[in-house]
């Protein structure tokens, strides 16, 4: 069988690459070893957000009296939450399948292995077949890291996939990793009543975000009775009387933390094993497949995208890379830019960041001005009872060019898009404040933070 282009992997980056290539008139085959949608749709972004949505409803009902609504205490139904999650996943995956079918993409179940730079062998339910193409896009994703410590294979030690499919809610949970995945699971299970502890080996939570974001998230988690240890590493996991005991080492010395379950959320590794990319001459290292800003590997006609290339392991980055790779593979010109990639953490409150942190901007030699505005001064936030957090804008001092936007607060994951667009268009503070923001909206806080950076704050006391 011969195709114009073969995409290996049907996750967010892979299926988007296949759709874009089909739009451009190519005959496209997509090879998927497991389920369309990849980790994100099946055991990542989407199912976690579905469960977090259920947890948020539970939390809202529990505080209904604050809004003048009297009702009985909410009752948890974890199996029903799980069932809803599966319905959401099935709907999304079905949507991807429909889009591929309508676009004329041939979906081949199985595992692909390069035989040469222009051929792959596909091992699937129908046996093995060889597929030839002039162009390939590798989009095989990543897998959770397994920490090299004693006890990681014990029953009750979970990765994110295992945590999503628990048959019952744990009474207690130790989360190893204070990044997005770990903090979202900590929020989920703490909201549903579990005793949660988070361990992060770096000096703060959300270490890739602005320092103020990490500190605000730690405060928010403390309100939710989540215990946090930073600058702390896990040395071993052992059996305990009521589950598992994690041996920790940090500034406080040696600690033993007992919990029913342990969730390992400390990074991911690119999926390159079994691909046979050596046969195609594609270069890779422990960080992933090496590519340039066109997503080209250095072997003519072979591109790679998404988690398998390392870097920002985010679904929206993979999707954009998929478009770039497909366009370049089919004779167009496109390049990746990473200066305006938003990152979001779906905690309570949410956190989001785009562009340079204040610390990074200063390290890069910028003379910066910073503006902050708290949500407790925002009309809509007060009205809906979500006043935790702030908006922080980082800008170049002389001309006011926006360098970064950082948000902790309600709907931060949506509000951050103003910053992403602003960075893409090289927006200034003056341009943000000249844009009329509807009232009352949460987005007004972005304009207020920008006014504060200009020294013209209207709704902050002097």
- Active-site residue list: 439
**Residues 415, 445: Cα–Cα separation, whole Å:** 9
Neighbour order of strands in the sheet with 253-259: 233-240, 243-250, 253-259
**Residues 42, 181: Cα–Cα separation, whole Å:** 15
Strands 284-285, 157-158: pairing kind:
unpaired
Closest to 49 measured CA to CA, from 184, 196, 226: 184
Place of tokens 């704050």: 457
Write phi, then psi, for 439 (nearest 5 degrees).
Answer: -125, 140
C-alpha 108, offset from chain centre? 27
**Residues 304, 342: Cα–Cα separation, whole Å:** 21
Write phi, then psi, for 376 (nearest 5 degrees).
Answer: -75, -5
Place of tokens 């060889």: 130
């Amino acid at each position: 069988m011969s195709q114009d282009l073969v995409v290996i992997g049907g996750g967010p980056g892979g299926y988007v690459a296949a759709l874009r290539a089909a739009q451009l008139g190519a005959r496209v085959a997509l090879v998927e070893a497991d389920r369309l949608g990849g980790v994100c749709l099946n055991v990542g972004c989407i199912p976690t957000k579905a469960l977090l949505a259920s947890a948020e409803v539970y939390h809202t009902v529990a505080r209904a009296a604050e809004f003048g609504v009297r009702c009985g205490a909410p009752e948890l139904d974890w199996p029903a939450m799980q069932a809803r999650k599966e319905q959401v996943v099935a709907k999304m995956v079905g949507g991807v399948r429909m889009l591929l079918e309508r676009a004329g993409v041939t979906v081949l179940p199985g595992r692909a292995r390069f035989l040469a730079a222009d051929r792959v062998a596909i091992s699937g339910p129908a046996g093995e077949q060889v597929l030839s193409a002039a162009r390939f896009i590798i989009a095989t994703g990543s897998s959770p890291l397994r920490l090299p410590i004693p006890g990681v294979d014990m029953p009750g030690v979970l990765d994110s996939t295992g945590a999503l499919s628990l048959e019952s809610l744990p009474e207690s949970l130790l989360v190893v990793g204070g990044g997005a995945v770990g903090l979202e699971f900590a929020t989920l299970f703490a909201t549903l009543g579990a005793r949660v502890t988070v361990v992060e080996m770096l000096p703060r939570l959300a270490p890739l975000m602005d320092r103020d974001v990490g500190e605000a998230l730690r405060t928010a988690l403390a309100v939710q009775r989540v215990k946090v240890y930073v600058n702390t590493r896990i040395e071993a996991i052992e059996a305990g009387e009521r589950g598992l005991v994690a041996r920790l080492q940090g500034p406080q010395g040696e600690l033993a933390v007992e919990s029913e379950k342990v969730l390992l959320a400390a990074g991911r590794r690119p999926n390159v094993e079994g691909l046979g990319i050596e046969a195609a001459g594609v270069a890779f290292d422990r960080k992933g497949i090496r590519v340039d800003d066109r997503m080209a590997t250095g072997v003519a006609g072979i591109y790679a995208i998404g988690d398998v290339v390392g870097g920002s392991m985010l679904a929206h980055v993979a999707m954009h890379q998929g478009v770039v790779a497909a366009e370049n593979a089919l004779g167009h010109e496109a390049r990746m830019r990473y200066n305006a990639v938003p990152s979001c953490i779906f905690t309570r409150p949410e956190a989001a960041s785009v562009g340079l942190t204040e610390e990074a901007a200063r390290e890069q030699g910028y003379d910066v001005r910073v503006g902050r505005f708290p949500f407790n001064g925002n009309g809509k936030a007060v009205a809906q009872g979500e006043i935790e957090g702030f908006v922080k804008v980082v800008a170049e001092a002389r001309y006011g060019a926006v360098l970064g936007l950082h948000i902790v607060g309600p709907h931060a994951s949506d509000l951050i898009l103003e910053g992403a667009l602003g960075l893409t268009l090289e927006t200034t503070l003056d341009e943000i404040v000249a844009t009329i923001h509807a009232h009352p909206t949460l987005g007004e806080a972005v304009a207020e933070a920008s006014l504060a950076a200009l020294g013209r704050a209207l709704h902050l006391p002097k």
